[in-house]
Every structure is written in structure tokens, then in C-alpha cells.
Amino acid sequence: MLPRDLQADQFAAYPPEARKLIVAHLPALRELPLSFVPSLLREVIDYDFKFPVERSAIERELANLSSLSLSQLGAVCRVAGGIPLDHSSAGCISKSGFRLWRSAAGGSSRRSNSSATVGRCDYRSRRNVL
């Protein structure tokens, strides 16, 4: 799923305050690059259980993103948007020598800085693709 396809009802399982926060800033999230959204959502899902200082940091980040025009948001996210994503079933991402393998079922991720096989993703055979 791409960020532009996010809908408010998809956050029904989020804790109440996190859901309210994310739905309020959903238009900004839809404009963010795919490489940035998962880490932001990971922070927001725990919003209800964070310390006040952590909550205000998340609120400021979302407020800042929401306050930007589309052109400003594009300029800010240009670096994150430039991270190449492989949408194949293996879900391999390579950036700066580090490789991340994402399971298709949304399971845990593993990081490696070698070009060896990580999980079920053989990087030796995919070197020219990444």
C-alpha cells in the first residue's frame, strides 16, 4: 500500500490518542515518501504510552509536516524519496551498503551490512536490480 492510499478507518486498531493524532495529520502522511511513513507510524502507534516530552516531539513533527506546502514537503523529503524501494515479493531494500529484508507478511526485519543472504533474499543474484 502506498501512502496516498491511506484511509482513516485503517487506523481503527490504533490506541485512541494515536488514532486521533494520525487521522488529524492524514493529508500530510499521504504526501510523504513510502520510505518515511513506516517509521513515523511506528512512533505514532505507541503515542498513548509515551512520556509527555516524547508526545510533544511527535506532535511537533506532524504539525511541521502538515504546515508545509506540497512543494516544501517535496523539498524536505527529497532525500527520503530517493531511497530505492524494490516492490518485488522479496521486499529487499539497499541503501548506503546496508540491506534490509522485509517479510511479505509484515514480520520482523533484519539488517545486515554484508552482501550475503539475509532471510530468504539472496542479494548475490539481485545485485544488478538494487
Q: pTM for this structure?
A: 0.58
CB atoms within 10 A of CB 35: 18
Residue 94 predicted with pLDDT over 70: no
Q: What is the pLDDT of residues 23-40, one digit of tens each?
A: 999 999 998 888 889 999
Which pLDDT band holds residue 11 (cuts at 50, 70, 90)? Answer: very high
Helix, strand, coil shares of the chain, percent, nearest 5, are: 50, 10, 40
Q: Write the burial class of residue 96 (CB in 10 Å: 0-12 exposed, 13-18 middle, 19+ buried).
A: exposed
Which pLDDT band holds residue 82 (cuts at 50, 70, 90)? Answer: low
Q: What is the pLDDT of residue 95?
A: 43
Which pLDDT band holds residue 124 (cuts at 50, 70, 90)? Answer: very low
